A and B are shown apart, each in its own frame.
Chain A
Amino acid sequence: MIKDIPIIAEQAQQPRRTNPLAHVFDELMNFARSRSLFMLHYCTGCGAIELPPAMTSRFDMERLGIQPMVTPRQADILLVTGYVSIKTLKRIILTYEQMGSPKHVIGICSCTVNGGMYWQSYATAKKLDEYLPVDLYIAGCMPRPEAVISGLQKLIDNIKHGKSDNWKDYYQRYDHYLGNQQHLFGNNWQTPTDVIGEAREYGLFGPQTLGQHTELLESVQKPLQPLEMKL
């Protein structure tokens, strides 16, 4: 007997706004967002090999409104397609923090779920959602393009129904994510993005945004210097 195995965790739904006009506006915004997603062209590991068929004519991601995009600042989706080495994870976090909100992270392949076949490797990070808020995982080693497409469809559904708000979690519980990052990268870890300032700006400052890990960050943080221009 084939059981229905849930592979995609449901996320808590935001309470809808009481003003009916505001609600209609929100619905419209979510619909528009869900139908025009730019996927960052950033690939780690081996799962990226399934993306060319998923993107091009055979499975055609673009009929869902998903296009590859070359810069993180214009992208909506960050696909992490395979094992994440600790060095790569730093770059992923830098990339993720530069993306404009709302942003969604998808972990493809079993390596992003629990380390996969690299579970005893000294060089790879095991659980991606400890370091970044992951919206959904597509398990498999590697998932076929059909699975990738169905995962993306699920993401579109989630966005349409306002259930894909994990990017807010990064601001609201920044201390938790930063703590995990510091545990792996050492206490001198810092990124050029001012996440706490952004949390205040977006109105997403929560009780867990600041904590002992952000205190540690502030004590070691070096202010960014503009790059010297030379001819």
Chain B
Amino acid sequence: MSQELTRMLDTLTKDIAGAKVTLKRARRMRIDVDADALPALLELLQGRGSYVHLSAISCVDWIDDNQFELVYHVWSYESNSLVSAHTRIPRDPGVYLSIYDLYKPAAFFERDIHEMFGLYFEGSPSMEKFILTEWEGPPPMRKDFDAEAWVRDTFTERDYNPEWLKELTDAGGGIAIRPQDIRK
């Protein structure tokens, strides 16, 4: 069954330049595709391949490559299989096309990604604040946002040095690695 699925996807993506289909597990396929070809691929998957359900769009910040990776997970109720379409776009300026005209639920995921990663989706119906309505800092899921440093600037730590712990630390016990040493 999985062989058939891969063969079907191979035929389907024949005309899309740079599309590479890999079988990850049974009924779980991965397609790597260029950023320009992704809307065409999704249109094919939806219209010809019965992948009508967009489960999620996930985003990965590859800061060393200066790229964002977008993963579109689409599910087919007919072949009961999941296709993850991976694409990479440059981190700067971080603008990509919305697939709202293909999959309506994309509006929700794109708004979330816009809020968490600062990526802008052209053609998405709303790029307003979503969950972090009261957050004014940078998009918090970006790798260049140091959440721990922000916490250190904003909050103070609670001192806790009770007598009973002192005896333990004197004997060489207590907290083995302090949080500030983990970062080094």
B-binding residues in A (CB < 8 A)? 3, 5-6, 86-87, 90, 113-115, 119-123, 125-127, 183-186
State A221–B151 Cα separation when bound (angstroms): 28
Which of B137, B151, B156, B164 contacts A3 (CB under 8 A)? B164
| Cβ B140 vs Cβ A122 within 8 A | yes
> In the assembled complex, which residues on chain A have CB atoms less than 8 Å from the CB atom of B132?
123
A121 and B151 contact, Cβ closer than 8 Å, known pairs A3-B164, A5-B162, A87-B134: yes
Min distance, Cβ A42 to any Cβ of chain B, angstroms: 19
Chain A residue at smallest Cβ distance from B150: A122
Q: Which of B148-166 contact A (CB under 8 A)?
A: 148, 150-151, 154-158, 160, 162, 164
| Cβ B155 vs Cβ A126 within 8 A | yes
Chain B residue at smallest Cβ distance from A126: B155
Other 8 A-B pairs with CB < 8 A, given A121-B151, A122-B151, A127-B156: A86-B135, A87-B134, A114-B158, A119-B151, A120-B148, A123-B140, A125-B155, A127-B158
| Cβ A87 vs Cβ B133 within 8 A | yes
Chain B window 160-180, contacts with chain A (Cβ cutoff 8 Å), 1 for yes, 0 for no: 101010000000000000010
Chain B residue at smallest Cβ distance from A4: B164
Min distance, Cβ B141 to any Cβ of chain A, angstroms: 10
Tell me whether B63 is interfacial, beta carbon within 8 Å: no
Chain A residue at smallest Cβ distance from B164: A3
| Cβ B164 vs Cβ A5 within 8 A | yes
Tell me whether B147 is interfacial, beta carbon within 8 Å: yes
State A122–B137 Cα separation when bound (angstroms): 10
Which of B134, B147, B160 contacts A86 (CB under 8 A)? B134
Decide if the interface of chain A is mainly helix, strand, loop or mixed: loop
For B136, B150, B154, the residue with the greatest tally of chain A CB atoms inside 10 Å of its CB is: B154
Min distance, Cβ A111 to any Cβ of chain B, angstroms: 12
> In the assembled complex, which residues on chain A have CB atoms less than 8 Å from the CB atom of B157?
114, 126
A-binding residues in B (CB < 8 A)? 132-137, 140, 145, 147-148, 150-151, 154-158, 160, 162, 164, 179
Which of B134, B145, B151, B156 contacts A185 (CB under 8 A)? B134
State A120–B148 Cα separation when bound (angstroms): 5
Q: What are 27 A-B interface contacts by the 8 Å CB criterion?
A: A3-B164, A5-B162, A5-B164, A87-B133, A87-B134, A113-B158, A114-B157, A114-B158, A115-B151, A119-B151, A119-B179, A120-B147, A120-B148, A121-B147, A122-B135, A122-B137, A122-B140, A122-B151, A123-B132, A126-B151, A126-B155, A126-B157, A127-B155, A127-B156, A183-B154, A185-B134, A186-B136
State A86–B137 Cα separation when bound (angstroms): 13
Nearest first, the 9 closest Cβ-Cβ pairs linking A and B are A120-B148, A114-B158, A126-B155, A122-B147, A3-B164, A122-B140, A120-B151, A122-B150, A120-B147
State A184–B155 Cα separation when bound (angstroms): 9
| Cβ A115 vs Cβ B155 within 8 A | yes
Chain A residue at smallest Cβ distance from B145: A122
> In the assembled complex, which residues on chain A have CB atoms less than 8 Å from the CB atom of B136?
186
> In the assembled complex, which residues on chain B have CB atoms less than 8 Å from the CB atom of A184?
154
State A123–B116 Cα separation when bound (angstroms): 12
> In the assembled complex, which residues on chain A have CB atoms less than 8 Å from the CB atom of B150?
122
Min distance, Cβ A6 to any Cβ of chain B, angstroms: 8
> In the assembled complex, which residues on chain A have CB atoms less than 8 Å from the CB atom of B162?
5-6
> In the assembled complex, which residues on chain A have CB atoms less than 8 Å from the CB atom of B148?
120
> In the assembled complex, which residues on chain B have CB atoms less than 8 Å from the CB atom of A127?
155-156, 158
Min distance, Cβ A157 to any Cβ of chain B, angstroms: 22
> In the assembled complex, which residues on chain B have CB atoms less than 8 Å from the CB atom of A87?
133-134
State A119–B178 Cα separation when bound (angstroms): 13
> In the assembled complex, which residues on chain A have CB atoms less than 8 Å from the CB atom of B137?
122
State A119–B152 Cα separation when bound (angstroms): 10
State A87–B160 Cα separation when bound (angstroms): 27
